[in-house]
Amino acid sequence: MSQAGQWTATVMARRDTGDYAVVTLSAGTDTSTARPGQFVSVKVAGPDSALLLRRAMWIGEATASGREGGTIEVVADLREPGGAWLAAQPQSARVDVIGPLGRPFSLPRDPTTCLLIGFETATAALVKLAEDLVSRGCRVRFLLLGQNVAYGALTARRFSSEIMDSSGRITSPRDATLSQLDDSVEVVYSAGTTEQLQPVGQILMGKGVAHQAAVETPLVCGSRTCTLCALPVRGRDGVTRMVRACTEGPVFQGDFVRWDDLGTVPGDCLGASEEIR
Ligand code: FES
């Protein structure tokens, strides 16, 4: 895993896509350690604010270095007070950021066909991944699910002409996933909340397709303390343990996540930390 650091980042730009704002931050340092599927923890609001908790945000596009260090894009949810606060910051405002955090996606050794399934703002986790896959000679197909897919559609178009966009109509994630699975797809990468990914994970179970899932959970502390991000994952020894998405994830091998049991296993089963992957 790449080394996380604390940055005093500078707000460079903001552009809105539907309910979200894409905020570009200059980290003031080299961000080349950031990998697809990782996230940052952003301190939102000032010392007098009632917003006490940091916010976890996916890293979208990233440039490694420049005159003022590397830049990253994060996607802020305008419907949520922390996201709205970040989006409202003027150009040149300073923001406290910790990152990159979490386990990233793994890339296939050989060129292959990959299906990238992104839900709403979590599609940001797939953007840099698509770029890296294409640069390795992989064929990339996007499936964008949810009502707010504008950001994903915009960026996906740069890396693939194969984009299925579900905006504006109700599409069952299960049916949509099945419709995109053909014999050419060898790897599926997905990103979304546990509720969004559950039908995708269930349908891919036992299909013989490698599946890596970037799971968005409530990341309250982001540092192994609160356990609110825990989810049931089967280890290589066959034993299920509750593991923390903030440190053991957010990317998991889909076949090891107990999709059927999400939300049913009590958090006090939190086992000793184990290398799941
Ligand atoms: S967010 Fe608190 S332990 Fe993971």
User: Residue 85's domain is classified under what CATH number?
Assistant: 2.40.30.10
Q: The CATH number of the domain where 132 resides is what?
A: 3.40.50.80
Question: What would the pLDDT profile of 209-226 be if each residue is shown by its tens digit?
Answer: 999 999 998 776 767 777
Residue 27, sorted as left (phi over 0), alpha (psi -120 to 50) or beta, turns out to be alpha
Residue 156 has pLDDT above 70, yes or no: yes
In the chain the first and final C-alpha atoms are separated, in Å, by 12
Look at residues 101, 136, 162 and tell me which one is the last residue of a structural domain: 101
What Rg value do the Cα atoms of the chain yield, rounded?
18
Q: Give Cβ neighbours of residue 275 (< 8 Å, ≥ 6 apart).
A: none
Residue 163's H or E segment, with its range, is: strand 162-165
Structure letter (DSSP) for residue 226: S
- Is the CB–ligand 1 distance for residue 276 below 6 Å? no
219 C-beta closer than 6 A to ligand 1: yes
Q: Looking at the structure, do residues 231 and 183 belong to the same domain, yes or no? A: yes
Predicted model pTM: 0.87
Of the listed ranges 26-35, 76-85, 216-225, the one predicted with least confidence: 216-225
- Whether 229 is in the pocket of ligand 1, judged by its Cβ within 6 Å, is yes
End position of a domain, from candidates 101, 133, 161: 101
Query: CA 104, CA 40: separation in Å to the nearest integer?
Result: 12
Indicate the DSSP class of residue 256.
G
Please tell me whether residues 142 and 216 are part of one structural domain: yes
- In terms of residue numbers, what domain contains 200? 113-269
Q: 247 CA distance to ligand 1 centroid (A)?
A: 8
pLDDT at 24 over 90: yes
C-alpha span between 86 and 83 (Å, rounded) = 5
What the block records as the tokens of 45 is: 């609001």
> Tens digit of pLDDT for each residue in 191-203?
999 999 999 999 9
Classify residue 253: in a domain, yes or no.
yes
